[in-house]
Structure 1
Amino acid sequence: MIEDPKTVAIVGAGIVGVSTAIWLQRDGLKVILIDREGPAEGTSYGNGGILASCSVVPVTTPGLMLKAPKMLLGKDQPLFLRWGYLPRLMPWLLKYMRRANAEDAARTAAALTPIVGDSLNDHLALANGTGAEKWIVPSDYLFIYNDRAHYTEDGFGWDLRRKNGFVWDELEAAAFRDYDPVFAEDLTFAARLKDHGRITDPGRYVKDLAKHLEAQGGKVIRADVEDLVRENGQVTGVRAGGQTIACDAAVIAAGVWSGGLTKKLGLDVPLESERGYHLEFWEPSVMPRSPVMVAARKFVATPMEGRLRLAGVVEFGGLEAGASDAPLDLLRRNAAAVFPQLRASHVTEWLGHRPAPADSIPVIGELPHLRGAFTAFGHHHVGLTGGPKTGRIVAQLISGRTPNVDLNVYSPARYTKAGNKKSR
């Protein structure tokens, strides 16, 4: 740990990077935010917009190995694969599927809870006084099922949530319809979690946070980051856009693009792009009362400023390929099935890249072999939800304070040569 760093460079201007920068600035440090596209031009723009504190259950739960072939081959299933990408995907996929057991799922849920479990309050604390508060709306969060039997089939995940302190109530038949009548009649059961929230425009929210950062003296630079500059085991700068930007510490918070950069620093993180899609229905004829996860179809629907956003679907196909038609077509069919009265003035589409580490646990902390180099990436489906808490933890570390969280499970040390040998 370096003493009293004066300037910190943050690589990546999504919610994690911007949160880190704001918390560092509040600690009195100078901050430089570096991103190739600028604030909120990636996943932080296109995510589901839900402050989903209860989303601690990983995809890799028991039984996934048996379900995966059906999910890949069924036209109405939410998992897609560009088959030509499979050879490149396989090393990561084998590590990922090995985690599909009860013990690892419980470990992941316990690791995610301190990062996402109080997201609404974390966002309110982050946005306080920035002008971005207007985008935060406290709300319930509903998981919608066909019926009670369908909900019971999801018992493993709900048991993990219960063990990690989450509580909910059940809305069935008339009670569910009274709560919100906009859904199709074949959906008759919902689990309702209170004390959650939504962001009514995620892109503008993060941009407003970044504007506040600049207004308070922070710098925002648009450039490709090539490497960190180091001398005698200490970070001294960031090489970006053909120049060296001097700094006393650097934070890598570039989502799925963090993997290539950290590899140059001696971290071998098994990280893949989980390609996610959204559709936005502008000036919708119906709007759900709260954000929802439609369990049977594995997508979320979130009320936003002037539109309804449907997000979800998982596709593996790397960072280079453009959008596929099939995931977007599935989202359209899902919208018609779940919201039969939904009409819109127009519909827009988006594809983005979620950073998916093979163990579904973010990489947060200082590199054990390079002073002043910190990581803050790998949040999979919960980057928006966990961004403010992650940023606060990293800021505390850089400022020399001890976070009130056991950071061992997130440590980048697990991806060094020594860490890999230890984990075998």
Structure 2
Amino acid sequence: MSWLCFTLVLAILLSQSINRMTKPDVTIVGAGIIGLATAANLVQRGYHVTIVDREGPAAGASQGNAGAIAWTDVAPLASPGLWKQAIKWLMDPLGPLTVRPAYAVKILPWMLRFMAASNHSQMKRSTEALAALNAEAWPSWERLWRVSGTHNQVRKDGCLELFDTVSSLKDAHLGWEEQRAFGIDVQELDLAAIRDMEPGLSDRVVGGALVPEWAQVDDPKLLCLSLADWLKSQGVVFDVGEVAGVQSKPSGVLVTLADGRTVHPDRLVIACGAWSKKLAAQLGDKIPLDTERGYNITIPEPGVTVNRFIMLPGHGFVLSPLSTGLRVGGAVEFGGLDLPENWKRVDAMVAKARRFFPDLKTEGGKRWMGFRPSIPDSLPVIGAAPQADGVYYAFGHAHHGLTEAAVTGEMITDMIDGATPSVDPNPFRADRF
């Protein structure tokens, strides 16, 4: 009997070894949170993974976001109601939404697509797709946190949405009802309850709501670096290099690096955020991706206590308490990848934040600007490249890259594995435009 057991165990181990040997090699372009989460799912299924990035893990938007797992968000940015507010914001060069004059002509085609995606029928489709994707975001992250040992870097304190005008508070009710329709808990609060939660707030708040299931990581960069360390322990190779070109050939995919090296992976995943558009175009896919430049400041000693993530929708920014300090950030600036930063936008956000927390200090604060890769219909591109066998896209997540990283990684891994993803990938295909 013991020999039989030994033979069975040996057969299982041999089968697993052969399975790993027959799995194709996968190269991922991009060591941000999407690339890291995709690698984490692939390596669990026995794939040999290499991640190529010009700077290494968490060098871009993944290090400077607000740290939210905002799976409770279901509303696309492209919506009919946004235009009334957007026109008002655009009148202020330092407001929540602005277009740099030097970039106005370049962004026009994207804006026209955004307007087209803002009609009621498209908004309904985008909302349903986002709700389906984000419904799997949290359980996907729970699986990844457990296996990677990073579960202690996340907390669920909820998100407090605050308003300082009666009209903006009234407008918010429609969005809250939509969230509730998808089973998301939204608790409207009176001023006394808000004051109990955040005693440091000024008197200008007129109302708000708590979304209790909203979650937050201690620090997005720390999470990325921890995942990278775990991936290295699992045999994932990190290659620092800039991908200059990709080609689809009869023999497979050819990846050319800026230093002259070439790579011939069995499978390729393009997950390099705002820089993905150029690579997809080389494969014949014209993706309408542009960048929302986001600004923030992280203050190690802010002089005020913020107990949980606070969103100020009427002003387009958030206050996010991280392990590294209070991060004040948000806003949207369309200016592409090359124009210099406009740090006055950080100063404007700080000035507005002081209206809500008058004692806020900024000494020792570190300013940052990053590029959110955004698609006009507010849906990322997740799936196989239509014109290149063996290539997969995972980019364009805009404000929800951290939120949707784990579920995106699972979907891409399922596709490479030949399995059916848990989320219908059709709304996110690259040839939908």
Q: Is the structural similarity TM-score above 0.5?
A: yes
For residues 211 and 188 of structure 1, do their structure 2 counterparts lie closer, same or farther at Cα, with a shift above 3 Å needed? Answer: same
CA contact (8 A) 2:297 2:346 kept: yes
For residues 4 and 184 of structure 1, do their structure 2 counterparts lie closer, same or farther at Cα, with a shift above 3 Å needed? Answer: farther
Say which SS state the counterpart of residue 156 (structure 2) adopts.
strand
Counterpart of 2:409, as a letter, is: G
Do residues 226 (structure 1) and 283 (structure 2) align?
Answer: no
Do residues 238 (structure 1) and 235 (structure 2) align?
Answer: no
2:175 corresponds in structure 1 to 157
1:334 corresponds in structure 2 to 352
2:76 corresponds in structure 1 to 58
CA contact (8 A) 1:275 1:351 kept: yes
**Gap runs ≥5 in structure 2:** 1-20
CA contact (8 A) 1:9 1:238 kept: no
CA offsets per residue over residues 141-161 of structure 1, 9 Å max, x none?
121122665322123322332
Deviation at 1:122, TM superposition (A): 2.6
Counterpart of 1:395, as a letter, is: T
1:399 corresponds in structure 2 to 417
Alignment partners' CA distance in 2, 1:379 and 1:321: 22
**Gap runs ≥5 in structure 1:** 416-424
CA contact (8 A) 1:276 1:312 kept: yes
Deviation at 1:344, TM superposition (A): 4.7
- Among 151, 155, 159, which residue is 1:133 paired with? 151
Do residues 251 (structure 1) and 285 (structure 2) align?
Answer: no
CA contact (8 A) 1:172 1:189 kept: yes
For residues 276 and 217 of structure 1, do their structure 2 counterparts lie closer, same or farther at Cα, with a shift above 3 Å needed? Answer: same
CA contact (8 A) 1:262 1:268 kept: yes
Counterpart of 1:235, as a letter, is: G
Do residues 104 (structure 1) and 115 (structure 2) align?
Answer: no
Q: TM-score, normalised by structure 1?
A: 0.92
- Among 395, 399, 408, which residue is 1:381 paired with? 399
CA contact (8 A) 2:136 2:423 kept: no
CA contact (8 A) 1:146 1:186 kept: yes
2:7 corresponds in structure 1 to none
Give the CA RMSD over aligned residues: 1.9
- Among 80, 83, 87, which residue is 2:98 paired with? 80
Say which SS state the counterpart of residue 405 (structure 1) adopts.
coil
Deviation at 1:120, TM superposition (A): 3.8
1:213 corresponds in structure 2 to 231
Alignment partners' CA distance in 2, 1:230 and 1:150: 50
Say which SS state the counterpart of residue 73 (structure 2) adopts.
coil
In the alignment of these two chains, the number of paired residues is 412
Deviation at 1:111, TM superposition (A): 1.2
CA contact (8 A) 2:304 2:360 kept: yes
- Among 334, 358, 361, which residue is 2:376 paired with? 358
1:325 corresponds in structure 2 to 343
- Among 397, 409, 415, which residue is 2:427 paired with? 409
Do residues 167 (structure 1) and 179 (structure 2) align?
Answer: no
CA contact (8 A) 1:290 1:302 kept: yes
For residues 225 and 384 of structure 1, do their structure 2 counterparts lie closer, same or farther at Cα, with a shift above 3 Å needed? Answer: same
Counterpart of 2:278, as a letter, is: G
- Among 296, 305, 317, which residue is 1:299 paired with? 317
CA contact (8 A) 1:51 1:198 kept: yes
CA contact (8 A) 1:44 1:384 kept: yes
CA contact (8 A) 2:310 2:320 kept: yes
Deviation at 1:184, TM superposition (A): 1.6
Alignment partners' CA distance in 2, 1:306 and 1:248: 40
1:44 corresponds in structure 2 to 62
Which range moves more in the overlay, 175-184 or 14-23? 175-184
CA contact (8 A) 1:281 1:308 kept: yes
1:189 corresponds in structure 2 to 207
1:179 corresponds in structure 2 to 197
CA offsets per residue over residues 38-60 of structure 1, 9 Å max, x none?
11010000111111112221222
For residues 134 and 39 of structure 1, do their structure 2 counterparts lie closer, same or farther at Cα, with a shift above 3 Å needed? Answer: same
Alignment partners' CA distance in 2, 1:104 and 1:414: 12
Deviation at 1:75, TM superposition (A): 5.4
CA contact (8 A) 1:201 1:304 kept: yes
CA contact (8 A) 2:302 2:361 kept: yes
Alignment partners' CA distance in 2, 1:306 and 1:53: 23
CA contact (8 A) 1:80 1:327 kept: no
Alignment partners' CA distance in 2, 1:321 and 1:287: 35
For residues 333 and 178 of structure 1, do their structure 2 counterparts lie closer, same or farther at Cα, with a shift above 3 Å needed? Answer: same
CA contact (8 A) 1:283 1:306 kept: no
Deviation at 1:5, TM superposition (A): 4.1
1:89 corresponds in structure 2 to 107
1:271 corresponds in structure 2 to 289
CA contact (8 A) 2:26 2:50 kept: yes
Counterpart of 1:166, as a letter, is: I
For residues 408 and 4 of structure 1, do their structure 2 counterparts lie closer, same or farther at Cα, with a shift above 3 Å needed? Answer: farther
CA contact (8 A) 1:5 1:249 kept: no
Say which SS state the counterpart of residue 350 (structure 1) adopts.
strand
CA offsets per residue over residues 156-215 of structure 1, 9 Å max, x none?
322332333322111111111112212221113221112221111111210110111111
CA offsets per residue over residues 5-49 of structure 1, 9 Å max, x none?
420000111110000001000000000001111110100001111
Alignment partners' CA distance in 2, 1:369 and 1:120: 32
Say which SS state the counterpart of residue 341 (structure 1) adopts.
coil
Alignment partners' CA distance in 2, 1:247 and 1:317: 34
Say which SS state the counterpart of residue 360 (structure 1) adopts.
coil
Counterpart of 2:255, as a letter, is: V
CA contact (8 A) 2:285 2:387 kept: no
CA contact (8 A) 1:120 1:196 kept: no
CA contact (8 A) 2:296 2:346 kept: yes
CA contact (8 A) 1:19 1:388 kept: yes
Do residues 316 (structure 1) and 334 (structure 2) align?
Answer: yes
Q: TM-score, normalised by structure 2?
A: 0.90
